[in-house]
Amino acid sequence: MSNVPHHTTAPDHRDSLATSLSASYAGVVAFLTVVNEGSFSRAAERLGIGRSAVSRSVQKLEAQLGARLLSRTTRSTTTTREGEQFYENCRPGVEKLLQALEDMRDLRDGPPQGMLKISASLGFGRKVVAPLLADFRKAYPAVGLELSLEDRTVDLAAERIDVAFRDGRLEDSQVVAKRLIPMQMVVCASPEYARRHRLPTSMAELDGHPCINQRLPNGRLQPWEFRVDGQRHTLTPGGDIVVNDPSLALQAVMDGEGLAQLAAYQVSDDLHAGRLVSCLNAFAPDDRGHYLCYLSRHQLPKRIRVFIDFMSDRIRAMDIDCTMVGLKSSAAHVRPVVAETRAQAVA
């Protein structure tokens, strides 16, 4: 006789559980429907299957449980004591399941509701997104909002973000990116600075001006971008002021500390009002954009669909094209400098 031990394969309880659930699910549904409808025929009509299929499902369930659940006669179908107990035990779970299905239908077809988690960059979030949220809440009061502002690139899936607003150029092919508006970049100065200094007319002339730079989340300085003869050019001009928030860079420009390259949405109001002037607009980049991003086009909850439509319409309706305004305002402030220089020369 061989002394080699015989190895037996232990049953996989996960497989047996899956088999048990799949075998009993149809039987439980059939049994509950028969009890609710009062007969196999009406249960078959309700489920959209044949009467014999309902009967077989209930029989398999009874065999699995080792108990008779229904008493059948030619005139009636009633529950046994075991059937009554089984029905009472199953009913709460079934009611929760039906409620869950109903809730999902309400989310899809009913008024928008539920929480919406939104991410945006600091500047765009404060200046553009946040001011629109009050009107959105008035239109859809059952939708709760959570807005997170940060300049790093967020992971929509891992961080469970429903909608993200991103700036610049997108390279993430895992998300749906809907371009809202172009992202104009404008080199700005205060009117007082423009009166005292000749504004640059080329990138090389930036070396003669104090420039305000911005620190990116990765620790590097954000390069200034331009387009010359159709080609993209970047540079990081020198300067004594570095900030990590675009609103701080804007404030430094307003204070006359020097020049900064800022997004048009940040400075359009100030350019229109004459509180800022711009330069180098002929070299502004034209391949950047502001994007609204989400994970999938399919089976979007209604709260996300209405938010995407609302924000797209409102943001696209904004007048933030300030390139020509900046050109006119900067020209108006260059002339006084020339006149003042000539007067000093005559004196």
Q: What is the CATH number of the domain that holds 211?
A: 3.40.190.290
Distance of CA 291 to the CA centre of its chain: 10
Same domain, 204 and 103: no
End-to-end CA distance of the chain: 124
CB atoms within 10 A of CB 71: 11
CATH classification at residue 118: 3.40.190.10
Same structural domain, 244 and 311:
no
| Residue pLDDT, tens place only, 207-225 | 889 999 999 888 899 999 9
pLDDT digits (tens, 9 = 90+) for 240-274: 899 988 899 999 999 999 999 999 889 988 998 99
Mean pLDDT value across the chain:
82
Q: Which of 219, 251, 252, 224 lies closest to 236 in space, CA to CA?
A: 224
CA distance 235 to 208: 14
Decide if 148 is inside a domain.
Answer: yes
Residues 275 and 335 in one domain: yes
Same domain, 307 and 325: no
Paired tokens of 317: 């309706």
Tokens of 93: 């779970």
Same domain, 312 and 342: no
Phi, psi (5° rounding) for residue 4? Answer: -70, 125
Domain that holds residue 122: 114-182+300-316
The domain total for the chain is: 3
Q: Average pLDDT for residues 63-81, to the nearest whole number?
A: 86
Domain assignment present for 325: yes
The answer on 335 and 237 residing in a single domain is yes
Torsion of CA 251, 315, 148, 171, to 10 degrees: -100
CA distance 9 to 91: 38
pLDDT-derived band at 8 (thresholds 50, 70, 90) equals: very low
Regarding whether 279 and 202 lie in a shared domain, the answer is: yes
Top pLDDT among 185 and 169 is at 185
Q: Which amino acid is at 63?
A: A
Q: What is the mean pLDDT of residues 314-318?
A: 91
Do 193 and 120 belong together in one domain? no
Q: Write down the pLDDT at residue 336.
A: 42
How many Cβ atoms from other residues are within 10 Å of residue 41's Cβ?
Answer: 13
- Using a 10 angstrom Cβ sphere, with 0-12 exposed, 13-18 middle and 19 or more buried, the burial of residue 113 is middle
Cα(118)–Cα(146) distance, rounded to whole angstroms?
6
So what's the pLDDT on residue 250? 95
The H-or-E segment that residue 61 falls in is helix 51-65
**pTM summary value:** 0.64
**DSSP at 174:** T
